[in-house]
Structure 1
């Protein structure tokens, strides 16, 4: 049987006894773990130390959540501060409403603080976590599916999204699943950054800039498809203008950075010895020390053998000399005896 549409969940929260598990928050949490996991693998590959990505994420993630919520509340203030609305709802982040622009901007401030505390260059950290952030967005967008939000124009395509909720003026029906389009686009962005980073050895923030530019390119046309309420400027949604502006900034940074600082950082984390980043440094160092000790022992043994051979040779030479002297003495006595006769 052919699927006529993508069904939406009847509710966005499940209860384990008295504990609510909200689908939106659950997707955000999974996305954060994926971003930290992939970022850690990339950081190790670049010569960093295990655990650094997670330590800095302790600063970046809370700042990012606050920034994302602030951007949403400011740009959609009428949802919380207009007549008949409760401003307390602005703090209910689990009900949805995170602006990626604010999340990245304020999250970068948190990452900068964490990087300064460890003496790490922020661009190097950003390059390591860039594809992980894209995957986190891809996972987080499924939180919008749980909340039945971020959909596009009406459609009867086989992959249309069914909306059953009438909250906030929603009209039940089937629509373009823009949340799904953005999720798939973010996966493509993550793969693009990983490929380009390996192919061109991107450094000094260029991998992160590529992620930003690629995401903005997709966000522009996906945002254009959405039908939820938004502020418009010259016929375009506010987020369209934001995507265009940020895209231009990312491209400019890519070009200027490539000219000024080509290649990749040789050292991303001060104080990390060769091989320590991938967990092999201590083992290699111990192995090298053992080899040196073995070599020293062999040299001592060879020296002792050489000295022994030398003493043996000297003793043999002395013995030969004494034998020769004895032999000469015997010959001399025989000669004297023959002459007397």
Structure 2
């Protein structure tokens, strides 16, 4: 144990029981992230001429679709633990043990936001642009669930910030222990969960600063999110050593990051060419209409 004393610590337990009810750190991190995203988005909507209450109309749709999409993407992109040799297909439903793919969550979550906007008469692009910094903060907080689960780390490292990783019993939600009751340590590794968490916070702050200084067209902030997040995710993905499907010599998420980055570039220039700018400032009436132009403030796009 002394050989790993210099590394950053990892928890030895990620599940606590309140009677028959398990409290899982992974789920708590996700829930805290959701709350933070809703709060940030509410304030940003007010700056775009909204009341801030619009997020509550779409949040149930976004969260529900996002969780389903994240799980589907995780299972499809990492099928061997579930459908490979020795795998257990029913474990694909055990979402509480961890395993949400961000791109599935974003893709189906966006569908949920669109449905919510259509049902309640809100502008999808205004709401999506408002959501992006909060989504990044939610991702940053959610990554700490991986820390609790001792998962998603990089290669071996003896750097001062290297992460101590335990041999993990995912079913029990705790570290495996030796005969003396000590948690079994595998070594110290690159804390890629931490790198991604910090990168998400950096991109969130960058978008907030730029959005105050630059007049972006509707949809361009979404493009900034796609480009900013994937730029860091590509580097971090190349550092990870957890099992993953390999396509053309690289992890599948490497190729997905490249593709999504290019989509972000295309979206940025396409939306910029539209010159479709959102209303700025709290200029809405109690009825939700813009005082300056009732046709423009958070209304559905034509």
Q: TM-score range by the shorter chain?
A: 0.7 to 0.9
Alpha-carbon RMSD across the aligned residues, in angstroms, is 2.1
Q: Secondary structure at the match of 2:261?
A: helix
When normalised by structure 1's length, the TM-score is 0.76
Where structure 1 has 5 or more consecutive residues not aligned to the other structure, the ranges are 276-341
Query: Which of these residues, 251, 259, 267, is aligned with residue 237 of structure 1?
Result: 251
When normalised by structure 2's length, the TM-score is 0.85
**Closer/same/farther in 2, CA of residues 235 and 84 from structure 1, 3 Å limit:** closer
Relative contact order, CA 8 A, sep 6+: which one is greater?
2
Where does residue 190 of structure 1 map in the other structure?
204
Deviation string, structure 1 residues 122-178 (Cα, Å, up to 9, x no partner): 11110001000000000000000011101001000111111111558x981100000
Could you tell me how far 1:17 is from its partner in structure 2?
2.6
Query: Which of these residues, 277, 288, 294, is aligned with residue 272 of structure 1?
Result: 288
Residue 246, structure 1, aligned to residue 248, structure 2: no
Tell me how far apart the structure 2 counterparts of residues 211 and 38 of structure 1 sit (CA, whole Å).
Answer: 15
Contact 2:217 2:274 in 1 (8 A): no
Q: Secondary structure at the match of 1:59?
A: helix
Query: Which of these residues, 191, 205, 209, is aligned with residue 177 of structure 1?
Result: 191
Contact 2:150 2:168 in 1 (8 A): no
Where does residue 165 of structure 2 map in the other structure?
163
Which entry has the higher C-alpha Rg, 1 or 2?
A: 1
Where structure 2 has 5 or more consecutive residues not aligned to the other structure, the ranges are 171-183, 292-302
Tell me how far apart the structure 1 counterparts of residues 135 and 166 of structure 2 sit (CA, whole Å).
Answer: 31
Query: Which of these residues, 91, 102, 119, is aligned with residue 117 of structure 1?
Result: 119
Query: Where does structure 1 differ by over 3 angstroms across 4 or more consecutive aligned residues?
Result: 265-271
Q: How does 1:92-103 map to 2 (within 5 A)?
A: 92-103=94-105
Aligned residues: 272
Query: Which of these residues, 218, 238, 241, is aligned with residue 224 of structure 1?
Result: 238
Where does residue 62 of structure 1 map in the other structure?
64
Could you tell me how far 1:68 is from its partner in structure 2?
0.3
